[in-house]
Every structure is written in C-alpha cells, then in structure tokens.
A and B are shown apart, each in its own frame.
Chain A
Amino acid sequence: MSIKLKGFYGGMQLEGHKTESLTRPLQQASLPDFLILPLKQHIGEANRSLVERGEHVLRGQLIADSSSSISAPIHAPSSGIVRNIEIRPVPHPSGHSDTCIVIDLDGKDESIQQQVVNLDSLTASESIELIRRAGVVGLGGAVFPTSAKLLRASENGIDTLIINGAECEPYITCDDILMRTYSDEIIRGTGYLQRIFNPVCTLIAIEDDKPEAIEAIRQALESQALTQTELVIIPTIYPSGGEKQLVKNLTGKEVPQGQFAFDIGLLCLNIATCVAITRAFEQGESLISRIVTVSGNGIAQPGNWETRLGTPVDHLIRLAGGYRVDQHDSQHLVMGGPMMGFSLSSDCVPIVKASNNILVMQQPTIPMTPGYHDECIRCGNCAEVCPAQLLPQQLYWQARAKDYHRSEEYKLFECIECGCCSAVCPSQIPLVQYYRAAKSEIRASKQALFKSDQSRVRFEFREKRLLLKKQTDEERRRLKREALQKNRLQNKAADSTVDPVQAALARVRAKKQARSSNPKNTTELSTVQQQQIEEADERRRVARLERR
C-alpha cells in the first residue's frame, strides 16, 4: 500500500541549514557541575517540589510532581545534592523567571533501582499511567503531557497513528540524528503505541531532505515487521511538521477548530516522544535527557548532543567549541528554530524538555531590526503562505487598531505562529509579534471578564443572602414576640404564686444550660428555615461547579 499525499495550503521553502550540525554523529554531552530544573517544563499545571534543600538525589528519582491530570513529573537527571529551590531565569518567550530545583552533581551519576514491568500484562490505562510517571511530554516542541494526550486518544479511539519525523524548521537536526541513531527504538515505541491503540494504520512521516534518516527507519521497519505501518516521505515545505498540516497532508482531513487530532481519531506523536516511551517501557527510564542541536553561524562546532535536562546552555555552548568571535563579538541566542523559536536573555538558562535547538546567530546577521518597519501595502503575500488560511494582513490591521472583536471573527486564534507571514512580508512587519500581543491581550481581557463576572455573581449572592437573613431575622423576632406575649399572659395568670425574680433567674439558668448543651442552634428549625438552608447549600454547590 502506498498513501497519496493530499498536500496542505500555504507554507514556504526555506534554506535548510541542516548540514552544518550533521557533520558529526550524535555526541553524549558531559555532565555539568550543576543542573537547573524548572518545576514547569510542560503545558498544564506546574509541579510541586518533592525534595528539600540538602537532600541527596539519584538519577531517575522523582523530584517534582503534580496531582493534576495534565502534568508531567520531573526526575533528577543525575545524582547529587539539592543546592536550593529558588526563582531563576528560565527559557521562556517572555524572559521571565520561575521556581527551579538546583542540583549540585556529585559526578557519580548513580541511578535509582529501575523498575522494569512486564509489558504483556499491562492494560492500556496502566501503560498510559506508566508514561505519565516517566514524565514524558511531546518533544516536538509543544511539550503537552503525552499521557494526557494518550488518555484522550484512548477514550476517543484511534484509527490512524501518525509518527512525526518531519522536522521542518531550518537548522534543527535533533530528530534527524535521532532517527539515524535510534531508529529501532522509534519503531519499537511505535509498536507499543499500536498495542495500546490498535490503529487501522500507522504512518511514519519524514521530510525528503533526510535521506539517511529515511533509510535508517526503512531498515528498522523491515527488521521489525510492524503490521499496517507505512513510511511516508513528504516534501520539504515549512511547516509540514505542524500537527494540523501533517494531518491534512497525510489524511486529507482537517482538525476542526477548537479540537485536537485525537478528536477525529488521529494520534500524532513526535519520534523523540516515541523513543521516550520505548525507554519508559523497556528500561523503566524516565525522561531525563533529550537531544539538542546547537547550530547557527555564531557557534564554532555545530552538532547534536544528547543532553541531561537542566544542563545550563553555556555548558552546551562550551561543548560546541564556544562562540565564534572571528567576525562579530556579539551573539544572539535563540531557543528553538529560527521560525518559531524565541530569544534567550542569557546563556545561563537550562535545557528543558522543550529545548530542541540552540541557535547561535551573530548579532548583525539577525535581519529583523526592531522598531522601524514599512507600512503594510496589502500585497497579500502573507495570505498566500499562511498554512492556517488566514488573512494575516487583515489581522495585522485589526491588531494595530486593537479591534479584537474583529480579530476573533477573522480567527486570530487559529494562527499557529509559524512565522511564514513575517518571513515573506515586503514591509518586514513583525506580524507574528503583533498576533502574539493581540492574543495575550484578548486572553487577559477574557480573564478579567471572567473575574468580574465571578465577583458580580458573588456580590449578587451576598445581597440575596443578606436579604434572606433580614427576612428570617424578622420572622424569628415576630415568633419570639408572639411567644413572649403568650408567656406574659400565662405569667400574669401564674403571677400570684411565683416570685418574679426567682422565675427570671430560673429562665436565665435554663437558657444558659440550653445554650451550652446545644450551641449550634440548628435543632429546632422551622421547615421554612430548613428549606432556606438547603437552598443556600444548593446555590453554593452550583456556584462552585460554575467556577470550575
């Protein structure tokens, strides 16, 4: 069988710059003196540290976890002593800082006892739980917790499993070298996924600019004979490796807006994720390292290194021969590819699960000068390359005018920020930057709206409650008045026999006793009061649900 490619809209051909980092085989990065492990290295809930300052940890030991279902725990990538848990700069587009566990390594790289499970006895949900415990996330760059994805996929059922080895961004070769080096593990991982999901067919997609990787995968496939599995070679057009574009190209289907591939019976996983799954299954090994490409015109010896997570970027730069200072002495660091990566504020930040590439560019070769750009002339080049089939120039005008209502109407949130529009813009407008800003402002205003809605609901509820209290108080007072009146009448009748002072004291004593024995005052409620309490409880419950 051979599938026919359906193609996808837009995209562009870019200079690959892949050969620079492929001149040498995959190397093992040496251990640095210390590791920096941000508590949040995935999309979803942040982890909580499980270790304390001064604690000795071993390689593979769980050091941070979360109870949320959309999360991935973190394990110590090597043995050593926890130096501190502190706020440090982390690799992030906004350049912000976050809580990190810093481990001083002892250099012994001692491992915990790895538990290897009997794979045949595992159920699908046990397998997925095993992947979650190993801290596996999507290593293609999105770092979505793999277990969460697999869980949703197993609920929906999968008919096509797609293994993504496209790697379409320039400079990045970590997936290429992974396919050349660990092709068997990729195929075995594919086999495990097939066992969990039982898909009708499996497609392994690789761009045609990676002949060695294609050959390695082909041989591995032949030797392991997976059923209904096909190697698909796709043309090198950026962004062919984007999940939505790959799905369209291979199956002709489109992922509906606001949904995911698993909602339409497709499961798309990166090849590096596949290897992480294999290692979790076969060796009980958690995700503690990844392959990182170091490339660009500002680095002396570009290449690929299998790097422990938490390794500071400057350590990796040293392994790659340091910065090239022959022509220009200032470098620009980018984490990720040149199309979708982000600038690093310094080389002291660590390698995290998302770090596929460190791009070192000599400063003057960065083409974008911030500040001045020409005006949009509506040429429409951007719309021609937009793989989401948007109208980028209209979105740009809307973003500039802060007409966010329109932005959403023109589907701003379908933008995958691939950068094609910016790359072809004759006026060199940093379009994606405008979209990112607009998106975050829309998100912020939605958050604010949500909060104000919530406060309004709370306020209204409080008003209602106070009114109700007033009513019940009045009711109680009325009842009391009536009772007193009745009492007075009875007392008047009994007046002659009882000393009023003694009677009053007796009443006070009785009252005190009643209060001490029954402080909560909830036993003798009228049915009306009981009903009101139940209604209030119900309202609270509904409000709680809505907040969720």
Chain B
Amino acid sequence: MTKKAILTINNLYVSLPERAERQFAVEDVSLELFPGEILCIVGESGSGKSMSSNAVMGLLPKPFVYVSQGEIIFEGQDISKISDRDMQEIRGSKIGMIFQEPMTALNPVMKVSKQLQEVFSSHHLKLSKAEVQAKIIQMLDDVGLPDPEIIGNSYPFELSGGQRQRVMIAMALALEPTILIADEPTTALDVTTQAQILKLVAELQKKRNMGVIFITHDFGVVAEIADRVIVMREGKIVEQGDAETILNKPTHPYTQKLISTVPHLGAQRKEPVTSDIVVSVKGLNKTYGTVTGGLFGKKGRVVHASKNVDLQIRKGETLGLVGESGSGKSTVGRCIIRLHDSDSGEVMFDGKNILTLSNKQMMPMRKHIQMIFQDPYASLNPRRKIGDIITEGPTIHGISKAESWQKAEELLEIVGLSKVALKRYPHEFSGGQRQRIGIARALAMSPKLLIADEAVSALDVSVQAQVLELLDEIKTKMDLAMLFVTHDLRVAAQVCDKIAVMKLGEIVEYGYTYDVFHNPQHDYTKSLLEAVPGKEWVVPTFETA
C-alpha cells in the first residue's frame, strides 16, 4: 500500500537577486511529505534549507527572492502560484510553522491568550468567547504547560525560552494543521529544554498524524526524531532516504563528511596531565546587582554568577567548563582574564594573585592570558585590517611593528590562512576563517593560558571540526593550558581532559572527562547527559573521510 503524499515539491527553483553569491537559493529540489512522518532537512548555513520551507509557506522576501520554476502541490493545487490572500487562508490553518527565536516570534506587548485568540479571529472561525477560551486552555495544556490559565494571562517576557517555544507550538497547532514546519526550533534553547521540546513535537505529531518538516543543522537532533532525512548543500539535495540509512550508511561523500565531523559523545580515556599548574582559582565569587537606572538608581536583585568556584589547569591540559545558559560559565572565564571584576577569591597565575593587581601591574600579565570569543562576526573590528588586528597586542606591549608583522605572517600560516589576508578587512572572510584569525590574534601574544569562550558554537559542524582540530594542534605544539567554555557536551567530550559542570554559578561536578561522562555523580550532570539529542546514535566512521 502506498501512502499518499500531503505535500509534494517538484523541481523547485528559488531565484536570488542579481548580486547574490549564487543564482538560486534552492535549485531543483523535489520532495514528498507523507502524513505521520518527520522529515528532517539538514544542511550547513547557506544550504537553502530554510529557503525551501519559506517557499512552502509563501514567506519568501518578495520581490527579490521568488519561486522561478517548479511547483509546490498541497491539497491538489500549486500553492506557489496562488494569491497572497488564498495563501493566508492556508498559512496557519493548514500549514503551521514554528521559528527559531521564541523571543521575537511572539508579540511582546500582548498576553499569551490574546495572541492565541488572534489565530482564531484571523481565520474567521465562528466560535463563542467561551469556546475559544476553553480551546486556548486545552491547547496550552496539550503542549505541556503547567497552569494554562496563569500562562495564558502572562506576557511573553514572563515566560522562559522553553515555555515560549511551547506557546509558539500551541499557536502553530491551534487550527490543527496537517503540516507543521519547524525551522530550527530548538537551536536557541538549552539542551535540557531542547530535549523536552523535541519529545513534545514527536508526541504531538504522532497523536495528530501530522507531517512535520523539521529543519536543523544538528545531526544529534536528526538522530533523535527523524523518520526520513534530506541532506542539502548549496541549494541542492545531495542525498535523501530514511533516517537509519542516512545516519549509519550514507553513500554521498558530502553526507559522509558531515557526519564524520559530528563529535563523538563517548569520551576517550586520556592520560592524566601531571605537568605544572598554570592557573589555580580558589573561591571565586561574582555577583551581578541589577541596578535600576541612572542618578537616582537603587540596588535591585542580586544574581550569583559565580559562587566559590575552584579550579586548576595544568600546562598542556584542557579544562571544559560546561553548563546551560545563565550557569555563569562565561563569567568565570571573563573574571580570570579580568574583563569583569570579581567580588572575592583568588586567581593564582605565575605565583601572583592577579585579581588584586592594579591595572598597571596587570599589564605584563595580560599577554600570558588570552581569549577566543564566540561570535566571529563581532570579535573582529570591522574597520581595521587583519594585520592591524593581529599586531595590536604585540605593539601595545612594545614589540616593533616589523617584528610583530613578521610573527603575524607566521601565525596566519599556522592557522591555515595565506599571509595575503593581513591586508584585508574582516568582512572578506567566512565565519570559520574569522575564528582562525581570532585564534591567531590570541596566539600573537604567546600566551600560557588560552580561554575559549564558546569558540566553536557559532560555526557549522564541518568548520567546527576543523577549528577544534586546530585548537588541539596548537595546544600540543605550544604546550598551552586551555579553559574551554561550552554548552555542547559532544564538543566537550572530544577536546577536554577534565570537565567542570556548572549550575547557577556553582561547580556541581568536577573530574576527568571519561569519569564524568561514564559515571556521572551529580543529578544535574546526569540530566544534562540524558538530554543530549541522539545520544543512542553511535556516530559511524568512514574509511574515505
């Protein structure tokens, strides 16, 4: 028995404006979606995965980007050619969509229940007030929100990220659509929240027998929920098939390459590092007071971002600082490098407590501690040439221009860029290349301690793998101590010797990576590990890759 597809896309082309990188955002894409299945579209940034779904929803930024060829067949008609008004009828009622940013996708000045009402009234459904009210409560209950009455009466800012995403899902499903399109709905969420949302989507999909198109860049998520998978690259489909086959026996070299770059969750047992201690942190405390405004401000709520944090890093050792957002992991890194002032505690480095040094005394220490930042787009000054950016540190510390320029050339070679780059501006480079430049900048100071603050989180998996490799290579070559701040347990498992798990400013578990991953002691660590998407999937290795 062959099932009938609810959505068919035939040879879809989406054109881009003239000056764009390529002619088509989506090129010759054909796919079918069947009821009751989750179809995952995977690809790196710029692969056209979001464009395909936006084309289905009629959400392309016309007139610059438009469907130039092909058809999208839904309920017997080609919805790529119908009028905007007809499309509005379909949107929301028959095809629902959820977005990546739950913060911006909800109207901030409208109560949740009011926003849900909007969905009904905009589709002109003849329902009494009481019926609508009952429906709203029912919907909020369906998406697993506790106390639906209270939630309905709240404004979006009063809800957490996970709760907002649940409200979004409730809105998308309000009119019981047959298709749900989810565009990276869990990317902005913490790993435990992500696990809950994924479970919720899978449950609702089964219950209502919907077809779900799930767009993601994360193979872990794919392993968790997908029935079928489509792999996209530069607007084209490179491979499609059922999840089992794609994840474990992909045939296309690009898919193999992508999958092989996914970090393994199972940590390897590593030799304990016994060299000298480079940095030792004891009882580090940092609180943030929310000061309410200007001249007449008062002290408000106090948040503990770091509470009695102790840690040590040895020469050639990588310590992973993992935790969810708001756990204070970045704060600890920034306190050690003195970007933030800490309240109390000590950071021993080179025999000195650097927290008590004056700015002037701190100067010679600065070059020993360097940082790599998360966002490769914000961490390089857009108005300065790469050469100036890399040589800024050495010049401040009194090294001659010629000498530091020479060194910058060598460093660029080390991080895998040509020295021509020195004369260019940051916008001419891709995210991965920029991150390499950021690493070169940190290395220009010949540091002893390198703090990587979510250094690979903003990068695509394949680029991420390269940067991780580079970091590891540099660490061994230069015998650096490294503090690796990350929220991604897979990455942490791969690169760290030791792991410190943080929750609400405190370190709840601290030990060798292998021990933490295979025998977690603290409940929180266990729940974090439990929540990693696709944890049962063992990443296959390929001979060719």
| B is a partner of A | no
- B interface list, Cβ under 8 A from A: none
- A interface list, Cβ under 8 A from B: none
